[in-house]
Amino acid sequence: MSQPEVRPCGDDLVLSLRNITKTYNTGELAVPVLKGISFDIYRGQFVGILGTSGSGKSTMLNILGMLDVPTGGDYTLEGIQVGSLADRDQATIRNQKIGFVFQSFNLFNYLTIEQNIEVPMIYNRVPRRKRRERALELAKIVGLGHRLGHRPNQLSGGECQRVAVARSLSNEPAFLLADEPTGNLDEKTGNEIMKLFHTLNRERRMTIVMVTHNPMFEPHYDKVIRLRDGRLEAGGLGQ
């Protein structure tokens, strides 16, 4: 399944990385993990970041998600240089502009599906009535409008990931950041989740960045960024 070509323009730039480096210090030993990464992602693109273990993709995921800070370089998200922000401001931007989808779902088992979807909106201080309306809308989008009162332990793995996708959309983020979102699912269910991503990408122009080690998903993306030993692999950056 290949994506239709996305023709970006300057006003549609969602995020930009320029010469991003990341070095971890272990005692007296400096370990460089990212070694000068630069790329742009535009609104409406479905982007895959691929790499084997040790390529730096997990570190890249954490930097894109503002869960870690680069050692050097600039990260700009919708015109905001996030590296210059205080921790509290970074947390606010992260909650408002990035929707996370994790391999392990990260749902709260003691909350209903509706309440799980509402969690990011609570942090964003969205009024209760609007939260409930938005949760119902998103549950319907992912095909779970009839399951709002259930809890995660009453759902299948695929349904749990659909809840996680709905939750990631709750604050209308600039982009979705998906970390191996099919890793805990069987092939059939994983393909259903990929189909859901395509629907969101095409019908709602949602920008999606998916980090994975699995090359079989490459045909799904309209832009592929390949990492190898902390660098962009030659020929591994789509247009």
pTM of the predicted structure, to 2 decimals: 0.91
Question: What are the boundaries of each domain within the chain?
Answer: 44-62+86-237
Q: What angle do CA 155, 160, 166 make, to 5 degrees?
A: 130
Backbone angles phi, psi at 131, to 5 degrees: -60, -45
Q: What number is the average pLDDT over the span 142-171?
A: 96
Give the model's pLDDT for residue 26: 85
* Percent of all residues in the chain with a pLDDT value above 70, rounded to a whole number: 93
- Tens-place pLDDT, residues 12-61: 999 999 999 999 998 889 999 999 999 999 999 999 999 988 899 999 99
Q: Tell me the C-alpha distance between 14 and 181, whole Å.
A: 21
Instruction: Measure Cα distances from 78 to 89, 98, 100, 235 in Å.
Output: 15, 11, 17, 26
Q: What angle do CA 82, 83, 87 make, to 5 degrees?
A: 85
Query: Is 44-62+86-237 CATH 3.40.50.300?
Result: yes
Kindly tell me the burial class for residue 30, based on how many C-beta atoms sit within 10 Å of its own C-beta (0-12, 13-18, 19 or more): exposed
Residue 15 or 214, more confident = 15
**136 in Cβ contact with 148 (< 8 Å):** yes
DSSP state of 11: G
User: How many Cα neighbours within 13 Å face the side chain of 239?
Assistant: 5
DSSP state of 28: T
